[in-house]
Amino acid sequence: MATDRRVRNGVPCPIGRAIDAVGERWALLILRNATLGMTRFEDFRSDLGIADNILSTRLARLVDLGLLTRVPYRDGGRTRNEYRLTAAGADLLPVLHALAAWGHEHTTPDEPAEPMRVVHRTCGHATTPGGHCDHCGQPVRREEEAWIRPWRSPEPIPLAAPVTG
Amino acid sequence: MATDRRVRNGVPCPIGRAIDAVGERWALLILRNATLGMTRFEDFRSDLGIADNILSTRLARLVDLGLLTRVPYRDGGRTRNEYRLTAAGADLLPVLHALAAWGHEHTTPDEPAEPMRVVHRTCGHATTPGGHCDHCGQPVRREEEAWIRPWRSPEPIPLAAPVTG
DNA sequence: GTAGCAGACTTGCTTATCGCAAGCCAGCAA
DNA sequence: TTGCTGGCTTGCGATAAGCAAGTCTGCTAC
């Protein structure tokens, strides 16, 4: 099963292995956008401003590594492919959250903006780095968690559910 | 103050800004090694197998961004520089921990090895993703946390303390 | 004085990757 | 048949990475 496949890439250190898998700019940005529910080639391309060939290569690699999977869908008469997170890809969420927290604390946007929030959808309160609700105290499952990116929209964005590849 | 300097790099998303700052292979590996207490050019170079000019460029960039700082030290008669984490650099620890957890779960080393552990130095038990001690339940401060990398040594490696730049 | 040392950084070059823009391809509709 | 769409491929120039040697600095030894 693709979702159970462990990337074998050698070094003893799990940090090193994770970096070998995803420690580069475009992979991380693609995974962020996939987490937001983005699935289509053109959407990734235009949102990220990435070259076709680079995007194509990166998507293929992430599929190969089992972090994304191609899902066929019908578009008019044609079968097209979209790209969705696998469980392994979705499990990078804590990395993305840690990056968000660090980015919020240590970097500054060009334009002042409400900061991004990670919230418990049910009650609207923030979640902690450990994945608990600030308000309820309970662990928050992925499907009850959302991002709010106020510079885009005040609506909570549910996190994309992983699919089995 | 260098430690209070926020990287200004534009995009509204803090994840995107964090990725712009550190979302590339060598920066992340250097920061991992700096967290382990590595400070010297030659040590980074030989451990990472990175080219001189690439390492030099990356170190300078991380210093420029305020994640590392050069600290003069005496070597025999000469003043040399070592590279140490700033507070901003040290605050990337949750990113490294998240990468470690993901790498452990989803990648496989070439040689079987005891996995890396993040422990509370005082009692020896593991710490949670939220930074609490599994055993004591208390939040664990950085200076009470250590990594154990059994493929290298069974000794806990204290995490490098940040210095003011 | 010169020669030698160590190690951080620089340099010149080759190789690899990225990015741009156009082209190709597949599967459909008219 | 042509035309459309959009994912992927291609050819090319630009940029970054990597290799290996050189330079620089501040010291010691002779």
In b/e form, how buried is each residue of A149-162, taking b as 16+ CB within 10 angstroms? beeeeeebbebbeb
Among the residues of A39-155, which ranges form H helices? Answer: 41-48, 52-64, 87-90, 93-106
Report ipTM for this prediction.
0.92
User: What sign has the CA pseudo-torsion B27, A112, A131, B122?
Assistant: positive
C-alpha–C-alpha distance, residues A2 and A19, integer Å:
20
**CB closer than 7 A to strand C: which residues?**
A 24, 26, 50-54, 57, 76-79; B 40-42, 45, 52-53, 56, 59-60, 70, 75, 80-81
Continuous segment of H or E residues that includes residue A84: strand A78-85
Q: What percent of chain A has pLDDT over 90?
A: 78
Q: Which SS3 state, helix, strand or coil, does residue B3 take?
A: helix
* CB nearest A19 (choices: B10, B13, B25): B25
Q: What is the pLDDT along chain B (165 residues), one digit of tens a residue?
A: 333 456 656 899 999 999 999 999 999 999 999 999 999 999 999 999 999 999 999 999 999 999 999 998 887 677 888 999 999 999 999 999 999 999 999 999 988 888 999 999 999 999 988 889 999 988 999 999 999 999 999 999 999 999 975
Q: C-alpha distances in angstroms, B69 versus A104, A152, B85, B92, B149?
A: 21, 36, 6, 15, 26
Structure tokens belonging to residue A134: 């600030």
Task: List, for residues B107-132, the tens digit of each pLDDT value.
Answer: 999 888 889 999 999 999 999 888 89
- What residues have CB less than 8 Å from A75, skipping those under 6 apart? none
A1 — pLDDT class (breaks 50, 70, 90)? very low
- What residues have CB less than 8 Å from B156, skipping those under 6 apart? B119, B121, B146, B147, B148
Model confidence at A4: pLDDT above 50 = no
Q: What count of Cα atoms within 13 Å lies in the side-chain half-sphere of residue A77?
A: 0
C-alpha–C-alpha distance, residues B74 and A114, integer Å:
47
pLDDT of residue B131: 87
Task: List, for residues A77-122, the tens digit of each pLDDT value.
Answer: 778 899 999 999 999 999 999 999 999 999 999 888 899 999 999 9
Residue ranges matching CATH 1.10.10.10 in chain B: 2-88
Q: Is A32 in contact with A68 (CB distance < 8 Å)? A: no
Residues of chain A positioned with their CB less than 8 A from the CB of B137: none
C-alpha–C-alpha distance, residues B60 and A23, integer Å:
20
Place of tokens 């499907």: A143
Mutation choice for B interface testing from A9, A35, A102 by most B CBs within 10 A: A102
CATH of domain B2-88: 1.10.10.10
Task: List, for residues A131-151, the tens digit of each pLDDT value.
Answer: 899 999 889 999 999 999 999
